[in-house]
Structure 1
């Protein structure tokens, strides 16, 4: 089992870092080969540059993007770890996937891209709690974004887990959060592909697009 962890938090003292250490250790203890993509320490350029966009036609990806694409192809599953900022994933996490999941790589009108059958398991931390998170539509915002990103590119599992009130919970509650993180990623090993998470509108829209409904061919 090959797994990449895409980590999007700038502070090593954060609870996200605790999740990263716990999840990485757990995956390796269960026999997975793990590569960690710490986007801040990598200094990954999340800004879409002209050459990046041009590659959507030419497939002349930058060296930086080609390295990441090679690891995505190598991976059976992706784990993402990030905070929720203003109701959404951090911009540099979205930017990573915008650049790496480029046309002709992650999706294609004819064959659906190169990522069919992969899985993604995402952990998000929030400073707020319910009922605010639900009333503000933050769960829905994240889930729809993940579905459009991964469901549209052929992933068979798009699973998310949320942690509330992270800055103010007790040490015991944080310990429980880490236990839940282990249980969450254990599904990668204990469940068959397609049994975890949801692929909703993203997967449907991909099928419609390939059938010609969304590009004026039908």
Structure 2
């Protein structure tokens, strides 16, 4: 099981970074995990800005040589783990810029002329770990579960990834946020998860 962890937070003193460490600790103790790679989008200096002009066309994005290493990481991965905060009800712009560029037609999916495309990333699994200041039920009650719908249906199911798990932790800026218990929950999951 090859695991690609995509970390999206500009601060390595953050709670998101603490969750990243638990993902890595649990994965290293899991006998099914063959190799782990971490892509820290901020540390990498990933450019999330889309540019389309006469020289750079959207339909050619799937073969952009600047993104080749990131495409290779996604192909290599059996499990993709995303660790990020929820800001304004959605993942950070840096992660969305990565998604816009990486999950391109011709690489992540292929149009078949019908309503839904052919997903080209079948067989992979995804785990989304997100933290937010607001209460845990805020995304469901106030936003109609927009974050999970965006990630599961509009993105991962669209490209053929059916196995998507969420750890969506709320009230994380509160002293009553049960941080240690949630960190341990993530550690135990990655230590024992199969397939």
Q: Match for 1:123 among 110, 124, 129?
A: 129
User: Could you state the TM-score of these two structures normalised by the residue count of structure 2?
Assistant: 0.87
Give the conservation status (yes or no) of the 8 Å contact 1:8–1:38. Answer: yes
Q: 2:46 is matched with which residue?
A: 44
Equivalent residues in 2 for 1:1-218 (5 A)? 1-31=1-31, 32=33, 33-50=35-52, 54=57, 56-57=59-60, 59-63=62-66, 65-110=67-112, 112-130=118-136, 132-137=138-143, 140-147=145-152, 148-170=154-176, 173-186=178-191, 188-189=193-194, 192=195
Query: Greater helix share, 1 or 2?
Result: 1
Aligned length in residues:
187
**Unpaired segments of 5 or more residues in structure 1?**
193-218
Q: Residues 128-154 of structure 1: CA distance to partner in whole angstroms, max 9, x if unpaired? A: 11554433216x111111121101000
**Unpaired segments of 5 or more residues in structure 2?**
none
Shift of 1:56: 2.4
Q: Which has the higher contact order (CA 8 A, sep 6+)?
A: 2
Shift of 1:98: 1.1
User: Could you state the TM-score of these two structures normalised by the residue count of structure 1?
Assistant: 0.78
Q: 1:203 is matched with which residue?
A: none
Calculate the aligned-residue CA RMSD, in Å: 2.2
Shift of 1:162: 1.0
SS of 1:136's equivalent? helix
C-alpha distance in 1, partners of 2:173/2:61?
A: 46
